[in-house]
């Protein structure tokens, strides 16, 4: 109480300062979340909950004050919870499209910097329940921390007395400072990373004009400096429908969720992670949009910056930004879905062996200490090298309740920065995977044309796997050959009338021998109707057999 009266100030960390100053009219630094409920959300109960749990984080009563030379957190003497929690409504017959447009408008509207930089918007009437849309500035915390803060508002049952149960499952016991636990084994390395970041920023404007200076830095120092220089010397991402001049309006869309268990089974069968599978599906959806829009896609590779958590998972209580970024190649020019997955998995394995995440954390710290002109140059330099920001957050695999209302679906998007205009978001919750996209309206006016392909890309991978021999290792070459056999089988089974007639005087075409009906083509025929949300009974039977086979293999049976 006395802190409120005094208008207490706390110094802002250098990394948080960097995110505060990254905001521009074309890229607002907000993390936007959407929680959909099965029943109506009581506004009074929500405000009571926020007062007890959300405002328990003192930071959310503070506003960000930037003097130019430094930034600080200042307690808002005129704090008004009613201003931060707004009630809104959709038109009577509104559905998913109208909700996506509302979220798009809010994601395009800046927060008021004279107040704490967050707001909640309650939509009363959506599919028999309510929706809670959250907007929180990135300078308060990174995406993982804020998702956990939001989840800390929820309970494991409709009764708030069960909050302790969720805390045991989701937020483990605090075990000391984030940086203390994280950096104790590698303090020297991080000091070098921050030092390297400062050195790079010192030459930032020169490097913008002459990228060869990055190579000079690589020759000067050890491994940390070399890796940072390698990241800086990456070529700019190619211009596509997803990268170009930005406007001030964003568009948001999300897909129907996928069963998480199926994604896990496929990952086990193919020897890769759930994250690899989902990012490969996202790359396929982007490729499909380009191809159907008549744009060249073959051979294209774009990069996504992927946030890497540098804090223990239990630290919702530790706000601030504690993450690094890595550049991930997304092979959208690869038509073969399994080869696309192989390339994504290989890229992820390589990144896990690198120190890019620690290095970008050091660079962000240096950005927070640098003059504004250098900050802008560094931001521009890095954002030119990527087309998207991609996040994948594992959420609780149990139903959650907020103020007594059950959470049906949830989604969130982190902001893009500099000239990056697209955000890819993947989040798992209660046995399902949610995929969403946010993109600048000048680039793609209707992101639904991308997100609706996500499930189809997963089905392609699943079908390709079901068509092969499960006892051996699968390869992209096997899938290519099976596709060709399957295509030939379909062509031979097609009615004669559908084939083009020979030209006058031409010899009649020699009948082609039908390919053998081996195990692959039999499985393909059984699963031929396997389009998203339109699976055949035979497909489901085959999928059950596939799961059992993968489980037996994992058990050593």
Structure confidence by residue, pLDDT tens digits, 197-213: 445 444 444 444 455 54
Average pLDDT over residues 437-461: 93
Nearest to 138 by CA among 57, 32, 55: 32
Cβ neighbours for 239, distance < 8 A, ≥ 6 positions apart: none
CA atoms of 528 and 530, how far apart (whole Å): 5
Q: What are the Cα distances from residue 453, in Å, to 26, 336, 435? A: 27, 15, 11
Alpha-carbon gap, residue 418 to 67, rounded angstroms: 22
Q: Which has more pLDDT, 543 or 41?
A: 41
pLDDT given for residue 37 in this prediction: 96
Q: What's the whole-model pTM score? A: 0.77
**pLDDT at position 417:** 82
Check pLDDT > 50 for residue 320.
yes
Task: Judge whether 463 and 525 are in contact, CB under 8 Å.
Answer: no
Considering only residues 523 and 38, tell me which one the structure prediction assigns the higher pLDDT: 38
**pLDDT 10s digits, 179-203:** 333 333 333 444 444 454 445 444 4
Q: Which of 203-217, 408-422, 444-458 has the lowest average pLDDT? A: 203-217
Given this model, what pLDDT does residue 381 score? 73
Q: Is the pLDDT of residue 528 over 80?
A: no
Other CB atoms within 10 Å distance of the CB of residue 243: 23
CB atoms within 10 A of CB 446: 15
pLDDT of residue 73: 95
Tokens, residue 383:
């954002």
At residue 499, the pLDDT reads 38
Quick one: average pLDDT of 522-530?
Answer: 39
Q: Rounded CA gap, 193 and 365, in Å?
A: 10
Phi then psi for residue 412, to 5 deg, are -150, 160
**Domain residue limits, the chain:** 2-170, 178-390, 467-492+513-554
Q: How many helices (H) and strands (E) does the chain have?
A: 22, 16
Please report the pLDDT score of residue 490 as a whole number: 46
Containing 80, the helix (H) or strand (E) segment is: none
Question: What angle is formed at CA 108 by the lines to CA 295 and CA 91, rounded to 5 degrees?
Answer: 100
Confidence (pLDDT) at 89? 87
More confident residue, 378 or 313: 378
Residue 439 predicted with pLDDT over 90: yes
Cα distance between the two ends of the chain: 64
Q: Helix, strand or coil for residue 336?
A: coil
Per residue in 147-174, pLDDT (tens digit) is 778 878 888 888 755 554 454 444 444 3
**Paired tokens of 440:** 């600048």
Mean pLDDT (the chain) is 75
**Alpha-carbon gap, residue 116 to 84, rounded angstroms:** 9
Q: Looking at residue 461, what is its pLDDT? A: 86
**Per-residue confidence band for 81, with pLDDT thresholds at 50, 70 and 90:** very high
Instruction: Give the CATH architecture of domain 2-170.
Output: 2-Layer Sandwich (3.30)
User: Quick one: tokens of 4?
Assistant: 């409120």
Is 60 exceeded by the pLDDT of residue 7? no
| Each residue's pLDDT tens digit, 49-78 | 999 999 999 999 999 999 887 899 999 999
Q: How far apart are CA 130 and CA 404, in angstroms?
A: 12
- Say how far apart CA 102 and CA 76 lie, in whole Å: 28
Per-residue pLDDT at 284 exceeds 80: yes
pLDDT, mean of residues 341-348: 91
With 80 as the cut, is the pLDDT of residue 399 above it? yes
Strands (E), 96-242: 118-126, 129-137
357 compared with 497, residue with greater pLDDT: 357
Query: 34-61 burial by CB neighbour count: b if 16+ within 10 A, else e?
Result: bbbbeeebeeeebbebbeeebbebebbb
Over residues 215-263, the pLDDT tens digits come to 544 444 445 455 556 666 778 999 999 999 999 999 999 999 999 999 9
In contact, 151 and 396? CB cutoff 8 Å: yes
DSSP assigned state of 531: B
Closest to 352 measured CA to CA, from 386, 316, 385, 309: 309
Name the burial class of residue 506, with classes exposed (0-12), middle (13-18) and buried (19+) by CB atoms within 10 angstroms of its CB.
exposed
The helix or strand, by DSSP H or E, that contains position 549, with its residue range, turns out to be helix 537-554
């Amino acid at each position: 109480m006395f802190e409120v009266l005094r208008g207490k100030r706390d110094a802002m960390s250098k990394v948080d300062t960097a995110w505060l100053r990254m905001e521009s009219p074309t890229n607002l630094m907000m993390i936007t979340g959407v929680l959909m409920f099965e029943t109506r959300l009581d506004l009074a109960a929500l405000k009571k909950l926020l007062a007890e749990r959300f405002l328990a984080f003192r930071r959310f009563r503070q506003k960000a004050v930037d003097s130019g030379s430094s930034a600080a957190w200042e307690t808002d003497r005129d704090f008004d919870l009613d201003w931060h929690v707004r009630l809104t409504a959709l038109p009577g017959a509104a559905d998913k499209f109208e909700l996506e447009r509302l979220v798009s408008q809010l994601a395009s509207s800046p927060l008021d910097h004279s107040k704490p930089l967050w707001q909640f918007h309650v939509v009363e009437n959506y599919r028999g329940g309510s929706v809670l849309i959250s907007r929180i500035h990135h300078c308060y915390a990174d995406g993982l921390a804020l998702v956990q803060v939001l989840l800390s508002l929820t309970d494991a049952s409709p009764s708030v007395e069960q909050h302790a149960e969720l805390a045991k499952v989701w937020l483990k016991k605090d075990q000391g400072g984030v940086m203390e636990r994280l950096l104790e084994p590698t303090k020297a390395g991080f000091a070098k990373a921050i030092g390297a970041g400062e050195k790079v920023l010192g030459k930032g404007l020169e490097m913008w004009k002459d990228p060869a200076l990055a190579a000079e830095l690589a020759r000067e120092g050890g491994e940390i400096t070399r890796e940072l220089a390698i990241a800086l010397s990456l070529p700019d991402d190619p211009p596509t429908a997803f990268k170009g001049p930005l406007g001030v309006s964003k568009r948001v869309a999300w897909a129907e969720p996928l069963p998480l268990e199926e994604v896990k089974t496929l990952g086990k069968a193919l020897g890769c992670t759930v994250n690899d599978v989902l990012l490969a599906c996202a790359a396929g959806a982007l490729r499909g949009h380009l191809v159907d829009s008549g744009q060249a896609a073959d051979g294209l590779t774009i990069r996504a910056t992927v946030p890497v958590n540098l804090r223990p998972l239990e630290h919702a209580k530790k706000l601030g930004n504690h993450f690094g970024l890595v550049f991930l190649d997304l092979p959208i020019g690869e038509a073969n879905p399994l080869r696309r997955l192989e390339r994504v998995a290989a890229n992820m394995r390589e990144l896990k062996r690198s120190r890019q995440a620690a290095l970008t954390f050091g660079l962000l710290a240096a950005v927070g200490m640098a003059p504004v002109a250098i900050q802008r140059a560094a931001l521009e330099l890095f954002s030119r090298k990527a087309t998207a920001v991609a996040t994948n957050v594992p959420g609780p695999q149990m139903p959650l309740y907020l103020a007594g209302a059950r959470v049906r679906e949830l989604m969130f998007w982190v902001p893009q920065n500099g000239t990056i205009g697209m955000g890819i978001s993947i989040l798992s919750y209660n046995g399902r995977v949610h995929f969403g996209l946010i993109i600048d309206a000048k680039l793609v006016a209707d992101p639904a044309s991308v997100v609706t392909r996500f499930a189809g890309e997963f089905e392609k991978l699943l079908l390709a796997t079901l068509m092969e021999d499960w006892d051996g290792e699968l390869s992209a070459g096997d899938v290519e050959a099976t596709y060709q056999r399957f295509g030939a089988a379909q062509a031979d089974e097609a009615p004669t009338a559908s084939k083009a007639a020979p030209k006058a005087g031409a010899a009649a075409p020699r009948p082609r021998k039908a390919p053998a009906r081996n195990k692959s083509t039999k499985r393909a025929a059984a699963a031929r109707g396997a389009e998203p949300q339109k699976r055949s009974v035979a497909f489901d039977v085959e999928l059950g057999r596939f799961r059992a086979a993968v489980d037996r293999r994992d058990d050593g049976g």
